[in-house]
Structure 1
Amino acid sequence: MDKKELIKLYLQNVDKMFGYANMDAYIDERLKKYMKYLSK
């Protein structure tokens, strides 16, 4: 499992806690921000 998958899994779990289950577009948006941050 690579870093991207781990982050995606983490975001999905966090989002479930806050009631954002199954919002793929939202998760993808968050993922883009995380990947931008990590690539610095």
Structure 2
Amino acid sequence: MNTKIVTYLKRMGFAAFMFFFLKGLAWLAVFYFGWQVIG
């Protein structure tokens, strides 16, 4: 394997993980605060 490609894939994997992690946290916050407003 080319080291440059491996580094690129690791970086992209980490970026994708962070993106979905933050997206998940955002949805949890939306539902939590929405529930507080409704309840």
TM-score calculated relative to the size of structure 1 = 0.44
Question: Greater relative contact order (Cα 8 A, min sep 6): structure 1 or 2?
Answer: 1
Higher alpha-carbon Rg: 2
Q: Which has the higher helix share?
A: 2
TM-score calculated relative to the size of structure 2 = 0.45
